[in-house]
Amino acid sequence: MMGLDTAQQHFLSLVHDGESITDSLWKNLSWQGLAWHGAEIRQCIFENNAFSEMDWRSCHVDESVFAGVRWSDTALKDCVFSSCRFVNCVFERGTFHTNQFLGCAFEGCVFSECRYNEGMLVKAPILDLQIEASQIEKLVMSHNEQVRLGFKDSDFQHLVMTDFNFENLTLENTRFTNLIALECTARDYSFQGMHLVQAQFTDSDMAGSDFSQADLSQACLKGCDLQACRFDRATVRQALIIEANATNAVFAGAQLESANFSGTNCEGANFRGADMTMTILNRSNLQHADFSDCSMSFTDFSYSNISYANFRGGRFMRSKHHAVIDHETRYGSKSGILSPDHALLQAEQWVKLS
């Protein structure tokens, strides 16, 4: 304990003895190269402290305030912070593993060059936080209030957000893999050119948003409002856009190989020039949609309403139009469209009647 003042030595002795540290003020202290294992801290104030090369493990911190505190090159593992307040704090080059912030307020705080292996940040009364140049492997952020987030130069591998409004998030040079956004709002938001592989936007309101040139491979947009969204030149391979409202959406020039639009309302949507190889559009409303100049090898439109749709210039190969409604549909050549399977249609009608 050489180099530590009396107050710090007393603090560490309490931690070592397994005793709680309560109702204390710790001001203008520098902590370096120390281990806090199993610390129990309650209703304390840490003001203008610096924690450097620290090892926090299995600590529980309740109802405490951290003001102007800087954590540098510090590891936090299995720590729980509950009902704490962080004001103008900086976490830099830190590592978080199974770390939880429960009901904590963040005001003007920054995570910089951090690695967050697993944890959660939930029920924050204030969440004013910037995450920069960081690697986030698994993080749950939900039910937070007064949110102002900024993600910059960061890579998120598994971020879960519920009931979140993307208008409170600023993005710059950030990648998402397996982003899970449940019942979120992102109206007129720009995801242009973003990496959103395996993203899941379930039952979210995303009308008018811009996904042009984004990578949505294997993404799921189930039950979302995608009205007038732009997906032009986006990569949407093997994605699920099912039971959604995509009226007047733009998929022009998009890569839609093996994407599934089953049960989706795509009335008036623009697919012009898209690669729709093995795309499934079963039981969908495709009235007035534009499929001109599309590549439609093995594409399946079965049971959909394609009335008034435009297929001129489209290229078909073994494409299915089984039991479609095609009133005043505009075709160029129908070469490559499979002949109707009358036996299958009769069998289906028989099953319905039986």
Domains and CATH numbers, the chain: 1-154 (2.160.20.80)
In contact, 302 and 323? CB cutoff 8 Å: yes
Question: How far, in Å, are 64, 153, 232 from residue 31 at the CA level?
Answer: 18, 29, 53
Q: How many residues does the chain have?
A: 354
Backbone angles phi and psi of 349, in degrees to 5: -65, -40
pLDDT band for 5, please (50, 70, 90 cuts): confident
| CA atoms of 331 and 291, how far apart (whole Å) | 10
Mean pLDDT of the 156-185 span: 95
Residue 112 pLDDT: 98
- For 339, which DSSP code? P
Q: What is the pLDDT of residues 83-122, one digit of tens each?
A: 999 999 999 999 999 999 999 999 999 999 999 999 999 9
In contact, 266 and 245? CB cutoff 8 Å: no
Q: What is the pLDDT of residues 51-69, one digit of tens each?
A: 999 999 999 999 999 999 9
In contact, 248 and 233? CB cutoff 8 Å: no
Backbone angles phi and psi of 35, in degrees to 5: -110, 125
Which tokens sit at 193? 């050119």
In contact, 77 and 98? CB cutoff 8 Å: yes
Q: At 7, which helix (H) or strand (E)? A: helix 6-16
The string over 164-176, giving b where at least 16 C-beta atoms fall within 10 Å of a residue's C-beta and e elsewhere, is bebeebebeebbb
Task: Supply the pTM of this predicted model.
Answer: 0.89
In contact, 49 and 29? CB cutoff 8 Å: yes
Write the DSSP string, 132-183: ES-EESSEEEES--SEEEEEES-EESSEEEES-BGGGEEEES-EEES-EEES
In contact, 218 and 198? CB cutoff 8 Å: yes
Q: Above 70 in pLDDT, residue 2?
A: no
